[in-house]
Amino acid sequence: MNSPIAGDREAREIIMRKETAAGREFRAEKDRKDDLDKRLSRMVRLGYRKAPRVREIFRDRKLKPGDIERREDLSRLPVLSREQVVAMEKERPPFGGFAREDRSFQRIFTSPGPVYEPHLDEGGLWAAGYRAAGIGKGDVVLNAFSYHMVAAGLTFHEGLRACGATVVPSGASSTELQVQLIRDLGVTAYTGTPSFLMAIISKAEENGRDFKKDFRLRKAVFVAEPLRPAVRETLEKKYGIDTCQMYGATEVGDIAYECPAKKGWHLGEDVIVEIVDPYSGTAVETGRLGEVVVTRLNDLFFLFRFGTGDLSSLIDTPCSCGRTSPRLAGIAGRVGEAVKVRGLFIAPSQIALLKERFPGVGVQVEITLRNNRDHVRVTLEAESPPADIMGRFQALFTGICTVRADEIRIAGPGSIRNPGKLLLDLREWNG
Ligand SMILES: [Zn+2]
């Protein structure tokens, strides 16, 4: 018998096959590259004419618009962090000289900083992600993102509408009210954070409801908060809710989204995403960890190379869903937490991922200097470790961190001094 999730997957396959003929998500890689390059070149020329900040950045770098015609040329421009954008907007309110001055904007949003953002798109943002999650006509979606000041509520709302779904703009209402809306309106899908959906489910159970039996909610699309594997499993197995994730930033809109294969997040078709060494700003090799840097192709807000501060890596092998864009391998943490080892970055979240694969085993990774070379030492703490643990750990370590561990040692319980710290950089002490 089909579970509700398997049924949804079949429905999605049909939608995707329909999209294959026309959808940009399924075009050849070369066609995508040519299209993005052409749009980038157009945005550069327009930005140079219309946005004073763009002219200044180009002047400082001794560049002319003709110098940036392809994504490879972007490395000649600086990566701009959120902090830098905040400072530039403060210096020249409201948009720091990045927005065109001859247009009126439909809306202006703000987010903490403060950062002011002109609304970037009339409806297309996030739609690809919702579509990939199987949301469409016939769905009634609870949008539990705030509609007040910030971009989230309204932007997700329009993405849902672009898919043909009916939206319940429930925003940050109480869990009690959200439960009532789910029941009274026959809500079929949720978009918001995973923690808030869990709170809504708890409230329903507190009220004596059986969430799976009494309600029709079978899909959830999450943004703005990591979806922990245990939470995903609970939602899918216990409550029969198919979960999908999307990823973006207020400054640049949607960046990537999960497809039904759930093995990475496909890059959107209106952004150029680079994975760069956060210190030098140059691209890292495909598959290596680096900062996610985004340029949203548009003709209103000319922010080139926005540094999200998030760490990820790219997967460029074909995906079973048929979409041809590369995928982000989730978010591995923030730039400040990463440690550079022999030219590559390792993040604590990668070690946490490894640890999950070895229940009951304590893990700590120390980076030191030996003979002027970075040395990676792993301590595994276990009472009676399985015989093959070293080999399995080394293989997984190399797979997840893309760096080889130089030394793996097994130690008895209580040997790890600071068990809360998964990754220790001790190189300063060694000189
Ligand atoms: Zn896919």
The DSSP code sequence of 297-355 is --SSB---SEEEEEEE-EE-SPPTT---S-EE----EEGGG-EEETTEEE-HHHHHHHH
* C-alpha pair distances (Å), 320 with each of 79, 263, 264: 33, 9, 11
Judge contact between 332 and 350, C-beta under 8 A.
Answer: yes
User: How many whole angstroms from 213 Cα to the centroid of ligand 1?
Assistant: 31
User: How many whole angstroms from 324 Cα to the centroid of ligand 1?
Assistant: 8
**pLDDT by position in tens, the chain (length 431):** 344 454 555 555 555 545 543 489 999 999 999 999 999 999 999 999 999 999 999 999 999 999 999 999 999 999 999 989 999 999 999 999 999 888 888 889 888 778 888 887 666 899 999 999 999 999 999 999 999 888 889 999 999 999 999 999 999 899 999 999 999 999 999 999 999 999 999 999 999 999 999 999 999 999 988 898 999 999 999 999 999 999 999 889 999 999 999 999 999 999 999 999 998 889 999 999 999 999 999 999 999 999 999 999 999 999 999 999 999 999 998 998 888 888 888 988 889 889 988 988 999 999 998 888 899 999 999 888 888 899 999 999 998 888 899 999 999 888 888 888 899 998 865 33
User: How many whole angstroms from 116 Cα to the centroid of ligand 1?
Assistant: 33
User: How many whole angstroms from 26 Cα to the centroid of ligand 1?
Assistant: 10
User: How many whole angstroms from 320 Cα to the centroid of ligand 1?
Assistant: 6
List 293's β-bridge partners, or say none. 274, 307
Two structure tokens written together for 24: 């940009």
Task: Give the distance, in angstroms, between the CA of residue 340 and the centroid of all CA atoms in the same chain.
Answer: 22
Judge contact between 271 and 252, C-beta under 8 A.
Answer: yes
User: How many whole angstroms from 19 Cα to the centroid of ligand 1?
Assistant: 13
User: How many whole angstroms from 242 Cα to the centroid of ligand 1?
Assistant: 16
Judge contact between 274 and 71, C-beta under 8 A.
Answer: yes
Measure the CA–CA gap between 183 and 365, rounded to whole angstroms: 49
User: How many whole angstroms from 25 Cα to the centroid of ligand 1?
Assistant: 10
User: How many whole angstroms from 330 Cα to the centroid of ligand 1?
Assistant: 13
